[in-house]
Chains A and B, each alone.
Chain A
Amino acid sequence: MTEGDAANSPSAEVSQKPNLAAEQALVRRAKDGDMAAYDELIQMYQERIYATIYHMTANHEDANDLAQDTFIKAYQALRSFKGGSSFYTWIYRIAVNKTINFLKQRRHKGHLSLNELDFHAENDPDLIALISDKTPQREVGLKELKEKLNMAMQRLSEPHRLVVTLHDVQGLAHEEIAEIMECNIGTVRSRLFYARQQLQGYLADYLK
């Protein structure tokens, strides 16, 4: 992670990785058919996998289906998992590939099914400042900003949306994103820059 990333890292808590040894032990047991071990692995990653897919699709129902499919497919393919990368990266890759394939097949783009904001949102100092000081129309609340953000995200191409989701929303490091997306770090950085530029343009009225 770069210094800039570390300083502005959106959520160290979001990208916390579980204990690698414990993870490996669970993977080994799950490979031997221990469903309880696989259940634990699901619980370790379900929120992050769901969130990644949700931010990509902006649709709760689709995210639910795809997250379930991801864990099912991962279980089926567990025997072919050789441990070249961490299980964490591996399952992210499955989720990302599934989601991108799904988005390419989805005919109509527009349907959003957004989740509600949790109660912490109203107390987030960054968001309070953004709404009260930066927004030209004062009546625009968090809810409207959420919708505008999601609509702007949906206008990005899948790879650009994915980079923003993984880095700015989920807090993954560039290196991890490069590994998940199977590209180099330079590509991740340039995609991130371009995606932010695009988003800034789409949200210009709300972010002045």
Chain B
Amino acid sequence: MPHPEDNFDTLRRALKLKRHEQPPPGYFTGFSREVISRIRRDGLHTRISALEAVTWEAPWLERVLGWFQARPLYPSLAAMAACLVVIGGVIYSERPAVTAAESGTATIGQPQEIAGFGAAPAAPRAPEMGFGSGPLGALPPGSTLFDRSRSLQTAPVFGVTNLLQPPQP
């Protein structure tokens, strides 16, 4: 490592000039008095805040806070990222329930639809109102849409269960 004293004599002599820069005469005479009066005036000699106490115990925390204060964009981005993580976490935690529900309908409904193309449905279907592609696909062999519409006319308004019955020959 280069020794820092190397070849800097002229610079160091020039830097001596800075020692001669002095505040206005008498500046230090009243300095301590002013500090003490500020301490008394603001009642600062009583307690320190919890945050200050923590930062004194962990000086690195003060540096981190200072760094954030100097760059307000970063804490905003960090806060946004934290919000996104929380929202993502909430969505993710609810997703298994939804998936289970979805998979539940699939396991009940899908074989029946497939079975609908075969012989007769083995078990009653989940109630459906007759719109969408499911019920049409579930027509038993030999029946027509006309037969089905007739059975709908005879069915009570809320007789959804009739739709689930195979049409009578």
Chain A residues engaging chain B, CB cutoff 8 angstroms: 2, 4-5, 8, 10-11, 14, 33, 35, 38-39, 42-43, 46-47, 50, 54-55, 60, 63-64, 67-68, 71-72, 75-77, 79-80, 93, 97, 100-101, 104-105, 114-118, 120-121, 124, 126-127, 129-130, 134, 142, 145-146, 149-150, 153, 164, 168-169, 182, 186, 189-190, 192-193, 196, 199-200, 203, 206-207
Contact = CB atoms under 8 A, between A and B. Distances in A.
B12 A130 contact: no
Contacts of A104: 66-67, 69-70
Contacts of A105: 69-70
Given A72-B39, A75-B45, A105-B69, A196 B17 contact: no
Contact of A76 (B31, B52, B59, B70): B52
B11 A101 contact: no
Nearest to A191: B4
A196 B9 CA distance: 10
A115 to B, nearest CB: 4
Nearest to A97: B62
* Interface SS, B side: helix
B2 to A, nearest CB: 5
B44 A75 contact: yes
Interface stretch (B21-29, B89-97, B121-129): B21-29
Nearest to A106: B70
B158 interface: no
Given A80-B57, A115-B23, A116-B21, A72 B12 contact: no
B32 interface: yes
Interface residues of B, number: 49
A15 B143 CA distance: 105
A115 B52 contact: no
Contacts of B10: 130, 134, 207
A4 B1 CA distance: 15
Contact of B63 (A97, A150, A192): A97
Interface in B130-168: none
Contact of A55 (B13, B18, B27): B18
B14 A47 contact: no
A169 B19 CA distance: 6
A121 B2 CA distance: 31
Given A189-B1, A206-B14, A207-B14, A39 B32 contact: yes
14 contacts: A8-B5, A10-B19, A55-B21, A72-B38, A72-B44, A80-B57, A97-B66, A118-B20, A142-B17, A168-B15, A189-B3, A193-B2, A196-B4, A200-B11
* Interface SS, A side: helix
A55 B40 CA distance: 29
Nearest to B8: A196
A2 to B, nearest CB: 8
A106 to B, nearest CB: 9
B35 A71 contact: yes
B17 A146 contact: yes
A88 to B, nearest CB: 16
B64 to A, nearest CB: 11
Contacts of A77: 48, 52, 56
B56 A117 contact: no
Nearest to A196: B8
A200 B32 contact: no
Contacts of A116: 21-22, 24
A148 to B, nearest CB: 9
B105 to A, nearest CB: 58
Given A42-B32, A42-B35, A43-B32, A114 B12 contact: no
